[in-house]
Amino acid sequence: MKLSRAEYKEIVKCTEHLRPTRQCMTILRQRFPNHSQSTLLSIFSLEYQKRTKRTMSWHHAPECIESYYQRYLSEAKARPSVPVLLELANEVDLSPALMARVIVDRFLQDQEGGVSSKQVLNNMLREPSLIPDQALANHVYQCTINDCCYGPLVDCIKHAIGQEAEVLLRDKLKERNLSFLDENQLRTKGYDKTPDIILEVPIAVEGHIVHWIESKASFGDDHSHRTYLNEQFWSYWNRCCRWRDPATCSLLGLLSLGLKVPYRNVNKVLSKRTTFCEHFALHRPLEILRHPNP
């Protein structure tokens, strides 16, 4: 499903002041009832990640961490029954899961006197009951479970979505009798970096030739397009498509993102061609295969 850029911008604008919590998601859902929760969540999540990237270093400054920790300690003492950590996170606009991480890390420093291993820290965030301090454990639990952008549970959900999308993609291709090699097959053939799917027989989609498909189960905004392009697609281009005559392989298919980019003018396309597609509704990206022309 495609989303107009105007609509997309509106959603982005709306997320600007939201916190990554269940309540905020509800607000978003009420504001845009026409879009599925997964789309909204994905956009929100991407936007929030960008925001976090901007502010992360600030939050992670030692004096900042110290002040959060001290505030947490005093608040937790004063109002034991209140979700103080979550409130603190929302107040300073840091993802609750990340806030929990910061605080537990700091807490462990006090406990063990040294720097705790990442492994221990991750385990505690995954299973707060491992945290020696009961109150802190509860607060951390509240943070990680309420966060809709970060945290172990969210990571797992994202992971699941990615894998499910690949299965669905394969199903769709089989449905259309398109012969393809998937990542595992390619890997056994010795490709070191592979896209999810290489079509054995290229197809034409809306006038563009598509050789391979990479499934990205996240919303395809400008930023992620650019990043994926830089980090992945060029290396596919170099490594996978090299054996093809460049002339015939002049197009990259960024299918799952719903955006087909002729590789020569990627930038132009990114700026002008505003086809966005809903991603979380996993079936949508494949709409683009509607008119295969094998």
Partner 1 sequence: MAALLESLLQKEVEAIKAVEWLKHDGDSDSVAWCKPLKIERKEFVPFLLNFLREQSCSALTHGPATPAKTPSHPRVSQPSQQGPGFSSERRGGCRSTRPGTGPRSASRVQLFSSTPSLSPGAEWDTTHPPSGSHCLGGISALSSPSSTSRHTPSERRSAQRASLGDFMLSPPELQHHSLNLGVQQQPRGRRKSAGMGGQGRQGGGRGVFQIEEVGPGRSEGGGRKGRGGAAVSPPMAQMTTLVQLNLTNLEDFPPMGMSHASPPLHTKPSRRINPTPVSAERPHSRPKTCFTSTPFSTRPSSPPPVPEAVTGGITGALNVGSPSLSLQEERELLKRVKCKRAQQVCSPLPTSFDPCTPTKSGLRLGSGSKMTPDTQGSCPDPSKVTLTSELDLLADIYCTCISENLVPNVFLELFFVLQLLTSRTPAVTEEEDKDLSMGKLDVLERSYLSKVHNCVYFSVRVLENQFELVSHLDKDTLRLLAENERVTCFSPSLRNRLTLAQDPSTAKVSPSVDTFIHSVPFQPATDNRSNFSSDKAFHTFKKQRDIFYEVLREWEDFHKEPRWEFETALGSRVRGMVSQLNSAGNHSHFARLFLKQLVQMCKGPRALGSPGDTPDADLLGMLGADSLGRLKRLEERLIQPQGILGPCPPPAFPGHQEFFRDFLKTASCCQLNQHLKDSLCQQLLQLDEVSILAPVVSSTEGEGDMEQQDEKQRFSSVLLLARLLAKFLGYISFLPYQTSERPSREIQESTAALRSKSMSVLDVCAVLRSCVRRRRTILTVPWLVEYLSMLDFTGPFLLCYRTVLGLLLSLYRRMVLSREGEVCYLNQLLMVAVLGWLFQIPVIPEELFFSTDFTVDVELEESETNIQGLDCLPLVDRQLLYTCCPFLGEFRKLLAAFVAGSSARGGGLIRKITPTSAELRGTPTTTRSQQKLQVDLEQAFFHNQPPSLRRTVEFVAERVGSNCVKHMKVTLVCELVRGGERLLREGLISPGANPLILNDSICAQLCDGGQEALERATRFCSEKGPEAIRVLLPDETSPAVLTTSENITKRLATEKACSWLSSNITALVKREWKTKFDRVIKSLPSPEASGVQGSGSGLGAKAGASAVTQEQSRTPKRDMGEEEAVTSCPPDCPHSAPLPSDVLVEIKEVLSIAVGPRSEKEVLTYLQLNALLGKVGDTLSCKKFSFPMPEQMLIRCTVLLACKLVSGELPMVSPQEECGRTVSPGRTVSPGPVLSDSPVQRVDCSIKALLEQLILLWGRDCCSSAPLHLLFTKMTLRAVLMASDSQWDNFLFLVRQLVERGILGEEEVVSHWRKLSQLPWPTEFIEKIQQQSSSTTSLPLPELQNHMDMLQVSQQPVEGAN
Could you say whether residue 145 binds partner 1 (CB under 8 A)?
Answer: yes
Distance in angstroms (rounded) separating the CA atoms of residues 272 and 220 = 15
Give strand pairing partners of 261.
252
Distance in angstroms (rounded) separating the CA atoms of residues 200 and 139 = 53
Token digits of residue 176:
């259309």
Distance in angstroms (rounded) separating the CA atoms of residues 143 and 125 = 10
CB of 83 to partner 1, least distance (A): 5
**Which of positions 215-244 make contact with partner 1 (CB under 8 A)?**
239-240, 242-243
CB of 12 to partner 1, least distance (A): 21
Count of helices and strands (H, E) across the chain: 13, 7
Site string for partner 1, 103-142 (x = CB under 8 A): ------------------------xxx----x--xx--xx
78 CB contacts (<8 Å, ≥6 apart)?
A: none
Q: CA nearest 284: which of 222, 225, 216, 228?
A: 216
CB of 189 to partner 1, least distance (A): 7
206 CB contacts (<8 Å, ≥6 apart)?
A: 260, 288, 291
Instruction: Determine the interface stretch with partner 1 among 52-60, 72-80, 158-166, 225-233 (rule: CB under 8 A).
Output: 158-166
CB of 142 to partner 1, least distance (A): 5
Distance in angstroms (rounded) separating the CA atoms of residues 25 and 134 = 29
Distance in angstroms (rounded) separating the CA atoms of residues 185 and 170 = 13
220 CB contacts (<8 Å, ≥6 apart)?
A: 254, 256, 257, 258, 259, 276, 277, 279
Among 83, 109, 208, 232, binds partner 1 (CB under 8 A): 83
Distance in angstroms (rounded) separating the CA atoms of residues 178 and 190 = 22
CA distances from 159 to 8, 217, 218, 262 (A): 24, 9, 11, 29
**Which of positions 24-63 make contact with partner 1 (CB under 8 A)?**
37-38
CB of 141 to partner 1, least distance (A): 6
Among 161, 208, 274, 292, binds partner 1 (CB under 8 A): 161
Among 191, 232, 235, 270, binds partner 1 (CB under 8 A): 191
Instruction: Determine the interface stretch with partner 1 among 97-105, 115-123, 188-196, 201-209 (rule: CB under 8 A).
Output: 188-196
Among 18, 86, 88, 199, binds partner 1 (CB under 8 A): 86
What is the size of the binding site for partner 1 (CB under 8 A)?
37
CB of 104 to partner 1, least distance (A): 15
Nearer CB in complex with partner 1: 147/214: 147
CB of 245 to partner 1, least distance (A): 8
By CB under 8 A, name the binding residues for partner 1: 22, 37-38, 83, 86, 127-129, 134, 137-138, 141-142, 145-146, 153-154, 156-157, 159-161, 163-164, 167, 188-191, 239-240, 242-243, 245-246, 264, 282
